[in-house]
Amino acid sequence: MKKPALERPVLLDVQDITRLYGPGKGCEEIDFRLHAGEVLGIVGESGSGKSTLLRVLSGLEAPDAGRVIYRRLSNEPEAARQVNEPEAARQVNEPEAARQVNEPEAARSGQHVVDDDEATSDFDLDLYAIGEARRRALLRLEWGLVHQNPRDGLRMGVSAGANIGERLMAQGQRHYGRLRETGQEWMRQVELDPGRIDDAPRTFSGGMQQRLQIARTLVTRPRLVFMDEPTGGLDVSVQARLLDMLRTLVRQLGLSVVLVTHDLAVARLLAHRLLVMRRGRVVETGLTDQILDDPQHAYTQLLVSSVLTP
């Protein structure tokens, strides 16, 4: 029997991120790697800095210090660059020069990535060095963000179909019939009635809205998805169905996910690996079962033992 291939490429290389709003408010010196196909859970109490960290990771808020490197595979075209092809956009985009200047810097810190032999490649994107145009395009087209409150992630004024189609239209899809087909396919995928494609999201229940938000986010098949308490605020029965759906989608689409949750049961069922945060810092990391069944840090032990059924 041959040795199994256990190496997985690093997708997101988070290097010493600090973002503080005040002393102890925010996150400090966060350093980890997300590997392709991994679901990484960030757990901790409210105020532990996990939401701040998610904002920094997902490109919404620049860190005070540290870098977020998105490592793209060399054979992938960058959707974010394709979309801004028109001539004039180039001027708004970060000049090529800035990108090139930035690259050697990334290479220098290659030793940072100790758990992976892969050298920093030309395809790496330093999230906060690439300029706002490419960053926003990246977030819109290659990444996805699922908000806790579906209202924050949906356009409540337009139909379910328009919600699902928006990212595709942003990518330049201009065929109404196909947009609609794709919309209906995705509604089936997230267990919504495709017959309701023209209904406004406000006529949907909370759980249905959340599934619609997930369809809207995943329609462009992002490689990396950030989820902020995706099952928060839902009834327990609805939660279970959503959890199962998320697991299936992660497997079928080969998604890599950063999941913020305070619910250890959700973390147990969805996450492969956990980061435990407290007062803005990571106190413990490891396999999900390991964190929950054999916690090492005093705080993790307290957290795990405080839950009714972790």
Partner 1 sequence: MHSTTNAQPRLTVEALQKSFLLHGQGGIEIDVMRDLSLTLHAGECLVLAGRSGIGKSTLLKMLYGDYRIHQGRIRLHFDDGELELESLPAYAWHGLRRDVIGYVSQFLRVVPRVATVDVVMEPLLARGADEHQSRQRAETLLARLNLPERLWQLPPGTFSGGEQQRVNIARGFIGEHPLLLLDEPTASLDAANRDVVVALISEAKARGSALLGIFHDEEVRNRVADRLLPLDGSLGACAADTQENLS
Partner 2 sequence: MNGYNFAYLDEQTKRMIRRALLKAVAIPGYQVPFGGREMPMPYGWGTGGVQVTASILGADDILKVIDQGADDTTNAVSIRHFFQRVAGVETTTSTATADVIQTRHRIPETPLRNGQILVFQVPIPEPLRFIEPSEQETRMMHALEEYGVMHVKLYEDIARYGHIATTYAYPVKVDGRYVMDPSPIPKFDNPKLDGNPALMLFGAGREKRLYAIPPYTRVESLDFEDHPFEVQTWEHTCALCGSDHSYLDEVITDDKGGRMFVCSDTDYCQTRRGEVA
Indicate whether 272 belongs to the interface with partner 1 (CB under 8 A).
yes
Indicate whether 232 belongs to the interface with partner 1 (CB under 8 A).
no
Indicate whether 281 belongs to the interface with partner 1 (CB under 8 A).
no
- One-letter amino acid at 267 equals A
Q: Which residue lies nearer to partner 2 by CB, 89 or 240? A: 89
CA distances from 154 to 133, 151, 164, 187 (A): 22, 5, 9, 14
Q: Which residues pair with 26 in a beta bridge?
A: 20
Interface residues for partner 2 in 25-64 (CB under 8 A)? Answer: none
3-state secondary structure at position 278: strand
| The entry of partner 2, partner 1, none that residue 197 binds, CB within 5 to 8 Å by partner kind | partner 2
Indicate whether 170 belongs to the interface with partner 2 (CB under 8 A).
yes
Indicate whether 31 belongs to the interface with partner 1 (CB under 8 A).
no
Indicate whether 247 belongs to the interface with partner 1 (CB under 8 A).
yes
Indicate whether 45 belongs to the interface with partner 1 (CB under 8 A).
no
Asked whether the beta carbons of 180 and 197 are under 8 A apart, the reply is yes
Q: What is the DSSP letter of 158?
A: S
CA 79 to CA 267: how far, in whole Å?
31
**Least distance CB 52 / partner 1 (angstroms):** 23
First to last CA, the chain: 36
Indicate whether 13 belongs to the interface with partner 1 (CB under 8 A).
no
**Of 273, 279, 278, nearest in space to 301 by CA:** 278
- One-letter amino acid at 5 equals A
Of 41-49, 87-95, 122-130, 205-213, the window that binds partner 2 (rule: CB under 8 A) is 87-95
**Structure-token pair, residue 297:** 């840090």
The only residue of 18, 35, 180, 194 in contact with partner 1, by rule CB under 8 A: 35
Binding-site ranges for partner 1 (CB under 8 A)? 1-8, 33, 35, 37-38, 115, 237, 240-241, 243-244, 247, 251, 268-269, 272-273, 285-287, 289-290, 293-294, 296-298, 301-302, 305
